[in-house]
Structure 1
C-alpha cells in the first residue's frame, strides 16, 4: 500500500523520481528512464525549466508548429502554434491561404480594461458605507502609489474604483470593483498587489471611521483578486469578400456556401450543445497561440466562455451574414494578454515566438490571437458544410494511427499514398497495414 510522504519538496529531483517510480509505477526502472529521456542535454536550460514550477520531474513536450500566410491589417504573419491536436495547424494555414487572396483578415482592439475586486462583508448602513468609500477613494489611490508609479509613467494604472452592493445575492456582501490599464503586461501580479493594498487601506480606515465606531469589526475583507472575466478587454477579427468568390475550391456555388455558413453559425448561436463544440474549435486556434507566446490559456479559456454566456445562454462567439452581395464573418472575443513579464523573458521558445510575430505589443498580439481563432472556426465550418469534418481531420490523424501501430518509415509512405484516395478510419488503417505487410 502506498504511504504518505514527508518533505517531498525538499528532496532532490533524482530522489523525487525514484520515490514516485517505486511507489506508483509497476516498472520503476522504465519509469525513471522515460522521465530522464525528456530532460534537456543543456543543463542550464533544464534548470530553467525545473524552476518554472514545483516538484519538477521532467519536460512534457508539445509540438510547436507554424501557420504561414496570415495577412492581418495588411501585414503578413507566420503564426506559431503549440498544440497536440491533429489538423489544427493545417486548418489554420488553409484558412489563411484562402483569405490571403481575398483581402486578408482585419482586426481591431475594442478595449483593454481589466478588472479586480476586493470582496468584503459589511452589516451596517449601506449609505454610510457609500459615504465612507467616497471619502477614502483618494487614500486608496495614494496608498497604492508605490505600486502604480511605474505603470502610470507608461500610461497605465488604476482607472476606476467603485463600490458595488451585492447584498441581494449574499447578505452583507459588497465589492470594491476596480479597473486597470496594464499596457503590454498581462498585469495579474500588478492588479493583485494593488487589490491587496486596497484591502489593507480599507480595513485601516474603517477601524478609525467615526460612523463605524459601534461596529467591531466594522467590516471583514474576505479576499482580493483579479478577475479573468474581461468583457471590456475586447478584440474584433473579421473577414469579408463577394459571395461569388466563396465557391472556389468548395465544390458548391458561392451563394450556397454563404447560405450554409450563415445557417451553421445561427445554429451554434441558438443551440448550446453545438455552441460548445463550435467555440472549442475557435479555442483550438486561440489556445495554441496563447500557449506559444507564454500567456495563460486557462485564464483566457475561462474568460472567453463566460463571455459566450453573457446573455444568460451559452452562444456562438462568431457571427456571419450576407449583405449587399458580400459575405462577412467576424468575432468579438475578450483577451487579456501580455508581451512582457511572465515567461516571455524566460522561456527561449516563447521569446522566439514573439520574434516570429515581429515583437508585437499586447494589442497587436490580441489581434493575432483573435484572427487565429477566427481562421480555425472558418476552416472547421467550411469543412462541416461541404465535405464533412472527418475527411480532413482523419487524414491528418493518419500518422498518429500509424505510429500507434509501429509502422516503419517506408510503411508510412506507402500508407499515406494509399489513403490519398481512400477513407481513413482506424480499422481501415489496421487492415491496409496488415495487407501491406502480407504482400511483403
Structure 2
C-alpha cells in the first residue's frame, strides 16, 4: 500500500480522516467513529480546537484535575492540573494538606529576565567589531521602538544588549545577547520580533560601516531566536517547620524521617541517575499546571533540565537541610510563563484554570507552578523514605488495570475490596480478575 499523499493539508477535515481510516485501519468505519467520538459537540468550540494546529483530525483529551488546600504565601489556592499519570494529583493534594497545618508554602520570584540572541559570523578584527557595536547599540533600541512601545507601557521591554565573542568555541562566531522583561506574557513573539529587527539593523549598518569596508570585513547573520534557557528567570518555593512537627501517620519518628529525607535529596544532588528521576517527579507537578494554564511545557522542560546541569553535572533542582532543629525543603526553578497572549485568551479550559487561580500575574503563576513542583517532590520523597513509592502509586493505578479488562460494576467492587488488604501489581490484579470470573461470579 502506498502511504504517501500529495496536498494533504489542502484536504478538508473529513477527507483527511477518510484517507487515514482507509490507509491504515482494517475497519475504517470504526476508526472514523472513534475520532468523531472525541469531537466537541459545540461546533464553535470544535472549530477553535481545529485551528490551534494544522491537519487536526480530532481532540486528544487529558484529565483536568484539581489539587485544593494549597496555602501559598498565606493565601489558599486550588491548583488545576492537566495530566494522565496516576497518583500525581492525589500526591499534590496530600502534600498541600500536610503543609497547610505547618505554615504552608512560601514562594518568591527572584528575577524575571528572559533571553534572546542574534547569532552571526564576523570575519575581521575583533576590535573593529567592538567599536562598531559601541556606536550602533543605541540604534538597536531606536529601531525597535514601534515593537517595544506597548511592552514598555506595561513596565517591560528590552533590558540590555551585549556583544559576545564566541570564537574560541566556533570560528568567527559572535552573538548579540539581549535580555528582556515581558511582564505577564511569555513573550516569545515579542522577543523574536525584536531579535529579527536587531538582525536587520546589524546587517544594514555593518554594510555601511567604513572600517569594515576598508578592511574587507563582513557580518553574516545566521539566525535570530529567543532562548528557552532562562537562568535569570527564577522562582523559589520552600516549606519549613520544626522537625518535631513533621510527625504524622506515616512519620512516627520525625527526626529519623527528616534525616533520611535530607539524605535522599543529597543523593539526588550528586548522582545524575537518581537526579533525573527525582526531577521528573518535580516536573509531574510543574508540567501539569503549565499545561492547564496554556503555557509551553516543552520550553519549560528544556530550560529546567539545562538549569539542572548548569554546574557541569546534572543535579537535583530541590534541596533540604536541618538546622537548629528546623527542617527546610526548597526548590529553585527557571520558569518563563505567561498569563496573557497565546492560548490564555483562546482555550476555554485555560481561561477556566486561570480564573480558578484568581487571574494571576505571570509572577504569581510562576509561584504556583513552583509550589506544585515542590509539593510533588515532597510527596515522592516522603513515600520513598517511608512506605515506598509503589504502594500509593499502584493503588491509584488499580482503576486503570480494572478499566483495561472492562470489569463490571460487581467485579470492580470485589477487586477494590480485595486490594485494600493485598499488594497491587498488574499480575496480581489480572490473576484476581480471572479468579472471580471463573469461580465467584
Q: Report Cα offsets for 1:1-37 as digits up to 9, x if no partner.
A: 2242111111100000111111222322211111111
Size of the aligned set, in residue pairs, is: 440
Provide the C-alpha distance between the structure 1 equivalents of 2:390 and 2:271, rounded to a whole number of angstroms.
Answer: 22
Please state how far the C-alpha of 1:360 moved relative to its aligned partner: 0.4
Question: Which residue does 2:315 correspond to in 1?
Answer: 315
Provide the C-alpha distance between the structure 2 equivalents of 1:413 and 1:200, rounded to a whole number of angstroms.
Answer: 68
Q: Which moved more, 1:80-89 or 1:209-218?
A: 209-218
Please state how far the C-alpha of 1:215 moved relative to its aligned partner: 6.0
Which segments of 5 or more consecutive residues in structure 1 lack a partner in the other structure?
none
1:336 aligns with 2:336: yes
Question: Which residue does 2:197 correspond to in 1?
Answer: 197
Provide the C-alpha distance between the structure 1 equivalents of 2:230 and 2:85, rounded to a whole number of angstroms.
Answer: 27
1:96 aligns with 2:96: yes
Question: Which residue does 2:130 correspond to in 1?
Answer: 130
Question: Which residue does 1:112 correspond to in 2?
Answer: 112
The answer to whether the 8 A contact 1:229-1:304 is kept is yes
The answer to whether the 8 A contact 2:123-2:217 is kept is no
- The secondary structure found in structure 1 opposite 2:170 is coil
The answer to whether the 8 A contact 2:118-2:221 is kept is yes
- The secondary structure found in structure 1 opposite 2:161 is strand
Provide the C-alpha distance between the structure 1 equivalents of 2:126 and 2:259, rounded to a whole number of angstroms.
Answer: 54
The answer to whether the 8 A contact 1:68-1:77 is kept is yes
Question: Which residue does 1:166 correspond to in 2?
Answer: 166
Question: Which residue does 1:246 correspond to in 2?
Answer: 246
Please state how far the C-alpha of 1:214 moved relative to its aligned partner: 4.2
* Residues 9, 215 of structure 1: alpha-carbon distance in 2 compared, 3 angstrom cutoff: farther
Provide the C-alpha distance between the structure 1 equivalents of 2:21 and 2:129, rounded to a whole number of angstroms.
Answer: 57
The answer to whether the 8 A contact 2:117-2:175 is kept is yes
Provide the C-alpha distance between the structure 2 equivalents of 1:67 and 1:215, rounded to a whole number of angstroms.
Answer: 64
- The secondary structure found in structure 1 opposite 2:94 is helix
1:399 aligns with 2:399: yes
The CA RMSD over aligned residues, in Å, is 0.9
Question: Which residue does 1:372 correspond to in 2?
Answer: 372
- The secondary structure found in structure 1 opposite 2:410 is helix
Q: Report Cα offsets for 1:160-182 as digits up to 9, x if no partner.
A: 00000000000000000000000
Question: Which residue does 2:20 correspond to in 1?
Answer: 20
Question: Which residue does 1:273 correspond to in 2?
Answer: 273
The answer to whether the 8 A contact 1:2-1:24 is kept is no
Please state how far the C-alpha of 1:435 moved relative to its aligned partner: 2.4
1:42 aligns with 2:14: no
- The secondary structure found in structure 2 opposite 1:229 is coil
- The secondary structure found in structure 2 opposite 1:86 is coil
- The secondary structure found in structure 1 opposite 2:185 is coil
Provide the C-alpha distance between the structure 2 equivalents of 1:188 and 1:415, rounded to a whole number of angstroms.
Answer: 50
Provide the C-alpha distance between the structure 2 equivalents of 1:400 and 1:340, rounded to a whole number of angstroms.
Answer: 36
Please state how far the C-alpha of 1:433 moved relative to its aligned partner: 1.7
Runs of 4+ aligned residues of structure 1 deviating over 3 Å after TM superposition are 214-217
Question: Which residue does 2:292 correspond to in 1?
Answer: 292
* Residues 3, 418 of structure 1: alpha-carbon distance in 2 compared, 3 angstrom cutoff: closer
Q: TM-score, normalised by structure 2?
A: 0.98
Question: Which residue does 1:302 correspond to in 2?
Answer: 302
Question: Which residue does 1:69 correspond to in 2?
Answer: 69
Provide the C-alpha distance between the structure 2 equivalents of 1:412 and 1:355, rounded to a whole number of angstroms.
Answer: 36
- The secondary structure found in structure 2 opposite 1:52 is coil
Please state how far the C-alpha of 1:118 moved relative to its aligned partner: 0.1
Question: Which residue does 1:413 correspond to in 2?
Answer: 413
Question: Which residue does 1:383 correspond to in 2?
Answer: 383
Provide the C-alpha distance between the structure 1 equivalents of 2:307 and 2:215, rounded to a whole number of angstroms.
Answer: 39
Which segments of 5 or more consecutive residues in structure 2 lack a partner in the other structure?
none
- The secondary structure found in structure 2 opposite 1:268 is helix
The answer to whether the 8 A contact 2:107-2:238 is kept is yes
Provide the C-alpha distance between the structure 1 equivalents of 2:23 and 2:308, rounded to a whole number of angstroms.
Answer: 44
Provide the C-alpha distance between the structure 2 equivalents of 1:251 and 1:345, rounded to a whole number of angstroms.
Answer: 44
Q: Report Cα offsets for 1:391-412 as digits up to 9, x if no partner.
A: 0000000000000111012322
Q: Report Cα offsets for 1:366-390 as digits up to 9, x if no partner.
A: 0000000000000000000000000
- The secondary structure found in structure 2 opposite 1:213 is helix
